[in-house]
Amino acid sequence: GRLDDTHLSRGQEERKGIMSSGLEQAKAALRAQAASLPNPPKPSGSGQPRMARRLSDEYTVGKKLGTGSYAVVREATHRRTGAVFAVKIIDRKQAKEQRLKSEVALMGTVDHSNCVKLWDVFQDRDRLCLVLDLLTGGTVLDRILELESFTENQAASVIADVLNALHYLHNIGITHRDLKPENLLYVTSDPESPQYNLIKLVDFGLAKLQSSHSNLQTVCGTPYFIAPEILEEKHATYGAEVDVWSLGVILYFMLCGFHPFDDAKYPVMFANIKKGRFSYPSPFWDSISDGCKDYISKSLVVDPSKRPTAAECMEHPWIKGAGESSASKLHASHRSFLLIQKLLIFQRIDPTCLQQVSQRLRIERVPRGELVIRAGEEGDSMYFINSGSVSVLVDGMEIDRKGIGGFFGEAALVLKQARIADVRSCGAKVYKDHGVPEAAELFRLSRADFEEVCEMYPELQSRLSTIAEANV
């Protein structure tokens, strides 16, 4: 429901009353920059705006880094300095113009070490191009899968970085509204870099500037991570507290591999969220410290007026103690849970079902150059990539390459048909003493084992049609 000013915590009163110069500057910048489209300003290296005509005048656009529903991200090299960035090329015909204006305006005001930085803005009739920090370290979940083990120490470091970003954003009146693991990116994948463990918050497409005397009303965000007040009846309002909730859900998921409010049916999941109904089931949470659970429980308080602010979260003993110096490994199923849920039918499934699937995974190590799947043969298994990578080939031509966290061959779980492509192991990046690449490590799930789990969990049966659309 609507926030009651008489029940605000000390931190929320401070945020509610923010009228600092930082907030006023942000609001002024928002008005100025939003009004500037279709001729948006372009920040120079010094941070001062200047006009730009074409992206190709100043940047050489390189390889594709990713795609979205209405945008593609590519490498971009500054012609004069040689500095490398990422450029987000947005199709203006598909994207909502007002959302683009808001994203550009807000990003133009953000300058923090834990937030992606907007460096340049270009546009023509059809495209809007945002030149951003190049972040090559992957998402938080990518990093978890790359590491041999993941501990509370590392989780606390991630959460501390995001809290730093949120504290900054909330103090200048910005609520992100779409926190999820995919929007938490590491700067680099180079373990030798001093920025190896640095997290940056990305994607300000749903972010909003909140004035000192107003709250937000739009229903938005990703279902798993959405706060209960956003789900309330029409006209319910909410504030920056929604980001604290979402971060609590992210931490829960990072540590066990499933979501706190999971249910196969969205209405039930939303009801669980609105009631704050969750637990720390054994054995998956047995090794997690009480301090960590206390942090999560405080973040997932349904009443936003009783939820801590980002600043208050930063003072929590578990954060200040770097995860209580706990270096104990997480539950053995943690990694396989994250891998399994890459496949759509295993999302929003009871953790006991995930456990049954995890127990049936068979480890296969395939040396570089050897075929995992041969075109023309009938398949009876699918594979999740635990380490290394594979190449997907049709008539000897590579059409795709999949790395850690990827999966392939999923159609074989439900269809008895010939494979349409070869899949060849590319090995792993780690090298042995004698210089030979290590084998790629795959988790194999057979059709027989999958059918066995389906008998125990009929919910999976209703999802089988999605598998039949697999390419390999």
Per-10-residue mean pLDDT of the chain, 472 residues long, equals 33 40 46 43 43 81 87 94 95 80 84 95 90 94 82 92 96 90 93 94 71 44 84 75 96 92 83 94 90 97 96 95 60 78 78 86 92 92 91 94 89 84 87 60 92 84 56 42
Q: What is the pLDDT of residue 326?
A: 54
Region at 113 (left for phi over 0; alpha for psi -120 to 50; beta for the rest) = alpha
Region at 348 (left for phi over 0; alpha for psi -120 to 50; beta for the rest) = left
Q: What is the pLDDT of residue 132?
A: 95
Q: The whole model's pTM is what?
A: 0.75
Nearest CA among 75, 471, 451, 152 for reference residue 326? 152
**Residues 465, 468, 471, 472, Cα dihedral to 10°:** 130
Query: Is 379 in contact with 409 (CB distance < 8 Å)?
Result: yes
Any catalytic annotation for residue 178? Answer: yes
> Which residues are part of a known binding site?
88
Q: In the chain, what's the furthest Cα-to-Cα distance?
A: 70
Q: From CA 290, how far away is CA 227, in angstroms rounded?
A: 23
Q: What is the pLDDT of residue 35?
A: 45
> Which residues are part of a known binding site for ATP?
88
Q: From CA 37, how far away is CA 436, in angstroms rounded?
A: 55
Q: From CA 206, how far away is CA 290, in angstroms rounded?
A: 34
Nearest CA among 204, 211, 272, 276 for reference residue 239? 211
Q: What is the pLDDT of residue 366?
A: 94
Q: What is the pLDDT of residue 224?
A: 86
Number of CB atoms found within 10 A of residue 39's CB: 11
Q: What is the pLDDT of residue 335?
A: 78
Residues constituting the chain: 472
Q: From CA 173, how far away is CA 70, in angstroms rounded?
A: 27
Label residue 93 exposed, middle or buried (CB < 10 Å: 0-12, 13-18, 19+).
Answer: exposed
Q: What is the pLDDT of residue 204?
A: 78
Per DSSP (E only), the strands in 356-468 are: 362-366, 371-373, 381-387, 390-394, 397-402, 407-408, 422-425, 440-446
Query: Is 168 in contact with 243 (CB distance < 8 Å)?
Result: no
Q: What is the pLDDT of residue 290?
A: 93
Q: From CA 127, how far away is CA 90, in angstroms rounded?
A: 5
Domains of the chain: 37-132 (3.30.200.20), 140-330 (1.10.510.10), 335-467 (2.60.120.10)
Q: What is the pLDDT of residue 223?
A: 84
Q: What is the pLDDT of residue 26?
A: 46
- What 3-state DSSP class applies to 120? strand
Query: Is 229 in contact with 236 (CB distance < 8 Å)?
Result: yes
Marked catalytic residue, from 161, 178, 203, 243: 178
Q: What is the pLDDT of residue 287?
A: 87
